[in-house]
Amino acid sequence: MTGNSFGKIFTITTCGESHGGAVAAIVDGCPSGLSISVQDIQQELDRRRPGQSALTTPRDEKDKIHLLAGVFKGKTMGTPILLLAYNEDMRPEDYETLKNIYRPSHADYTYIKKYGMRDFRGSGRASARETLARVAAGAIAKKYLKEKLNIEIVSYVEQVGDISTTIDDTAVTRALIESNAVRCPDQSIAKEMIERITQIKDQGDSIGGVIKGVIRNVPSGLGEPVFDKLSADLGKAILSINAVKGFEIGSGFGCAAMRGSQHNDAFILKNGAITTETNHAGGILGGISTGQDIYFRVAFKPVSTIQQAQNTVTQDDRAIKLKVEGRHDPCVLPRAVPVVDAMSALVMMDHYLRHRAKAGDCHE
């Protein structure tokens, strides 16, 4: 295995580089009979694509998706699905001066150490452009989960720098998230975030923050014991996203300051069904879903490419000052929201199919 595939039953394999010919994904294990269209996938890609607002890179990629295999008369066939988007607004010449330079906090140095070479055009395979393939594949999983199981995935920007919202998760809707460029459902806080990102951009700098993920209407019983816990797979999926530096689920690091009497989620009966009074566990116990909403928080670092002079070295061991010009996001969070959605959907879809296979129900 080379680290380019994800999942055990619902699997994806991605390929492509930032300034290569295209980015693509092969999705295997999708049940037959799901109605899917190019537009179903494109609407998710439009949320991720560059150039969508003044807060993102001006690189003008339409990310037009091509659905080339695995779908017949608008329905999945149970065979591998091929998704492909051509790169169009490529400027590899912008990176010619960087081909022998290790950019601070990029993967240039580590790729050289692992492969002995690297694609210096916009970070190549290490570029966040690879997430296009994840979002395209995730759109299929997301549609299946919503239509077949009523599972809803809602991710939003909770924090930019030191500006954060305390909005009640139950009040968050897709419409509220998409109502502003920063994808924060709290309108007054979103305005502050946008102002901060704009200020940071004007300074030639970048800024990080936190995305909160919420997965609603999850059936109980999803997840595997010990190494394939639902929480563990969510953690792996989210931590595989570019620029992610932290992941916590449920009460997360906050539980370290709590007592058991404060943190335990007491079981109660509500309308004849078992539930819990609180949800510090984040909807997962023993690695298996409880039926409560799953929620988690994701920390994103500031974008590594900034337009300020920094110390670095070259491949021939010369110390230099580097100031990078080009088209880059001052804050990755607005475009990362659909990526968090997609990785959440891929995990939930895979675990649902694994659970169903154990029950002996392998057909739609």
pLDDT above 70: residue 116: yes
Lowest pLDDT segment from 139-148, 161-170, 314-323, 338-347: 314-323
CATH 3.60.150.10 correct for 5-358: yes
Which distant-in-sequence residues (6+ apart) come within 8 Å of 189 by Cβ?
163, 164, 165, 167
The band of 326, judged by pLDDT with boundaries at 50, 70 and 90, is low
pLDDT above 70: residue 1: no
pLDDT at 344: 98
pLDDT above 50: residue 150: yes
The secondary structure of 267-328 as a DSSP string is EEEETTEEEES--TTTTEETTEE-SSPEEEEEEEPPPS--SS-EEEEBTTS-EEEE---S--
pLDDT, tens digit, for every residue of 257-282?
A: 999 999 999 999 999 999 999 999 99
Which distant-in-sequence residues (6+ apart) come within 8 Å of 118 by Cβ?
107, 108, 111, 112, 124
pLDDT above 70: residue 214: yes
pLDDT at 363: 45
Alpha helix (H) residue ranges in 203-255: 230-239
pLDDT at 90: 63
pLDDT at 193: 97
pLDDT above 80: residue 33: yes
Q: Which two tokens stand for residue 271?
A: 């309308």
pLDDT at 97: 82
Tokens 């003044």 correspond to what residue? 54
What's the maximum distance between 2 C-alpha atoms anywhere in the chain?
A: 71
pLDDT, tens digit, for every residue of 179-210?
A: 999 999 999 999 999 999 999 999 999 999 99
Q: Helices then strands (H, E): number in the chain? A: 8, 18
Tokens 């109980």 correspond to what residue? 220
pLDDT above 80: residue 364: no
pLDDT at 88: 84
Cα distance between residue 101 and residue 93, in whole Å: 15
Domains of the chain, by residue range, sit at 5-358
Q: Which residue has the higher pLDDT, 89 or 42?
A: 42
For residue 68, give Cα distances in angstroms to 35, 89, 142, 199. 15, 22, 19, 43
Give one word for 130, left, alpha or beta, with left for phi > 0 and alpha for psi -120 to 50: alpha
pLDDT at 124: 79
The pTM is what?
0.94
Across the range 156-163, mean pLDDT stands at: 98
Which distant-in-sequence residues (6+ apart) come within 8 Å of 318 by Cβ?
none
